[in-house]
Structure 1
Amino acid sequence: MHRRAYLAAVGTAASAGLAGCSSALSVLEDDPCTGDNCHIGMNRTEFLPEVYEIAAGDTVVWKNTSEAYHTVTAYEALIPDAADYFASGGYESQTAAYEGWDDHGGQLGTRETFEHTFEVPGTYEYFCIPHEGAEMIGEIVVSE
C-alpha cells in the first residue's frame, strides 16, 4: 500500500513539474503586450493584436513575446504615400529589408523591441519576413 501512495505522489509531482514548464513556455508564446513596455506582441506566427489603432504622432512599440525570431516590415505599397517607410533593422525599403534578412538583419530575438512613430494618418500594413508565408501580418490604423 505504501508503494502505491509513493508512486502516486511521484507521478503527481512529475506532472506538476512538467505542467509548470509547459505553461511557462505557453505564457511566453501567447503573452500579448500590456502596459507601457509595448503595444503589439508576437507569438509564433501572429502579431497580437493584429490590428492596432492610434492617433497621428503616436509611437508604437512591438515586442517579440515568443521564442522565434521575427521582423516588423512594412509593405511598401500598403502604407500612405507621404508616410515614412519602417522596418526593424532600419531599412529604407521593402527590398532592402528582404535583402537584409538574408544575413538575419532586422531580426528581433525574444524580448527585443522595435518602435516607430506614425505621423501620417492612414492604414499601414506590415509583416514578419520569416513568417510571411504563414500570413503573419498586421495593420496599424492611424487617425487624425
Structure 2
Amino acid sequence: MDRRAYLRGIAGVSVLAASGCLGVGADESTEYDIGMSTQAFRPEQYEVGVGDTVVWRNTSSHAHSVTAYESGLPESASFFASGGFEDEQSARDAWASQTDGALHQGDSYSHTFEVAGEYQYFCIPHERSQMVGTIVVG
C-alpha cells in the first residue's frame, strides 16, 4: 500500500468517526424538549399543541427545578412542578427545607398540557438570575 492510499484511508475513517459522534448528539436532543443550562431554560419559549407532553432535562451539573408560576397559568389549567407539588408555595417551601423537587444532572421531568394558553414557569434556586420560561399551548 502506498502512503497516499494509507492517508486517504485514515482521513475517511476520521470523517466517519466524526459524523458518528455528531449523530449521537442529534439523537440525544430528541430525548427532551427543553434543556436546563447553568442558569437558563433552552429554549426559553416552547410551543406545543393541546394534549402534548413537554419533557425538560437537566443538561447542567447544577440542581434545578421546573415550577409553574400560579399567577402565570391559564384559567382552569393544572399547576405543575418537579416534585409533584400541589401549588407554588409548597414547591418553594420544600426546596427551602430539603431541596425536594430537584432535578440533578441528567434527570428529566414531564408535564402534559391540557388547556390552551401561555404557561410561565421558573427554576426556584435560579429565579433571581431570571431562569424562567414560557410554554405556549395552541
TM value normalised by structure 2: 0.79
- The residue that corresponds to 1:90 in the other structure is 84
* Displacement of 1:73: 0.2
- 1:19-98 to 2 correspondences below 5 Å: 35-98=29-92
Identity %: 48
Letter in 1 for 2:122: F
Paired residue for 1:9? none
- The one of 107, 118, 129 equivalent to 2:124 is 129
Q: Is 2:121 the counterpart of 1:118?
A: no
**What is the root-mean-square deviation in Å for CA atoms of aligned residues?**
1.7
Q: How many residues align?
A: 113
| Separation in 2, partners of 1:80, 1:131 | 24
Q: Which amino acid aligns with 2:103?
A: L
Deviation readout 1:100-121 (Å, 9 max, x if unpaired): 1021000000000000000000
In the superposition, the TM-score normalised over structure 1's length comes to 0.75
Long gaps (5+) in structure 1: 1-30
Structure 1 residue runs of 4+, over 2 Å off?
A: 33-36
| C-alpha displacement of 1:136 | 0.2
Structure 1's 92 and 107: CA in aligned 2 closer, same or farther, altered over 3 A? same
Alignment of 1:100-111 (within 5 A): 100-102=94-96, 103-111=98-106
How far the C-alpha of 1:36 sits from its partner, in A, is 3.1
Structure 2 segments unaligned to the other structure (5+ residues) = 1-24
